[in-house]
Amino acid sequence: MIYTAYIIENSKVAFEKHFLTVEKRTAFLSKLPARYTYVISDPSTGGGLSAYELAVQQGFQGTLTQWLLSLVGEDGADGSPGPQGEQGLQGIQGLQGEQGLQGDQGQQGIQGEQGPQGIPGSDANVTKANVEAVLIGEITSHTHPGGGGGQSFVKKNTHQNAVAVSNAYVTIATVSLTVAVGDTIKGQIRGRISNTSGATKTYTLKIDIGGTILAISGSTTLANNTLAAVYGEFTIEVISNALLIISGVISITPVSATGATVTGVLRQAWSTPAVNETGTQTVLLGIISSGTGTQNFSGAGIISQISAI
């Protein structure tokens, strides 16, 4: 049998308690605080009143629905924190995350000082390391002999740390060479240009041999407050006393204000002027802008000559 006790507080059933024996119920009720009263229900009586009827018997006034709503008590006070649990097992390693976005391109470093000219050596000393060491300065002459002839290599280097650019050609590198039929002359421009003129600009690179010019213009423009990597490479082949073949390619790759690389320009051109450019000639590399304003080129120009002997 189950012996039930309904515990009453403030005319409401606070909770009910079930016991297997009358003795256990009696012992429990004897320890109730004074603010509680109670009503018991014995199975031997054939069933007792319902909880709602007991509440009405104890003075509750209202419908069954109102009584049911009254059973919801106020929130009790928070209990004391329990003891810290044991450390759990290590979880399974998560999946590898996606690769992050490419970082912004760093600014070009300051160009180092030109080193001293190396001591000329024999062909036995022409190793990759030796050549790279010499090329930071100037090779005035070097001959590779052979059974059927050879080539004489002359290299001139002119560096410009910073050149102001405007709507007139600015020389980046220049050298005087003795040119003969069969010679090949190469010019290279490498560096960067910044445009803070307040307006969009277009740039043109050129090579000039004795007044004969091949100029290549970028088909894209460089917006204000924009930095661009500039590269130009030119080749002059002296076919005869009255014929040159001049070819070139330039690349201008701007960087936007947010640091993202913007699609640049790659342009090619060539010319076959019927002029005599043999003998002593001045060869120069230059750059020009489509307008005035603050614009600066920083980099290097290299002019080299390969002569057949």
Identify the pLDDT of residue 263: 53
Report the CATH architecture of 133-308: Sandwich (2.60)
Q: How many CA atoms lie within 13 A of 21 on its CB side?
A: 3
Identify the pLDDT of residue 184: 92
Identify the pLDDT of residue 160: 64
Identify the pLDDT of residue 73: 64
Identify the pLDDT of residue 256: 58
Kind and range of the H or E run holding 189: strand 184-195
Strand partners of residue 230: 191, 252
- Cα dist. 274→62, 124, 240, 244, 285 in Å? 118, 41, 9, 7, 21
Give Cβ neighbours of residue 243 (< 8 Å, ≥ 6 apart).
Answer: 272, 273, 274
User: Cβ(190)–Cβ(205) under 8 Å?
Assistant: no
**Residue 181 identity (one-letter amino acid):** V
Q: How many CA atoms lie within 13 A of 46 on its CB side?
A: 0
Identify the pLDDT of residue 15: 85
pLDDT averaged per 10 residues in sequence order, the chain, 309 residues: 80 82 87 84 61 75 76 75 86 83 82 73 50 46 47 62 88 90 91 90 91 78 83 90 87 66 65 88 92 91 83
SS3 129: helix
Residue range(s) in the chain whose domain bears CATH number 2.60.120? 133-308
Q: Nearest 5 degrees, angle CA 297-CA 303-CA 307? A: 170
Identify the pLDDT of residue 43: 63
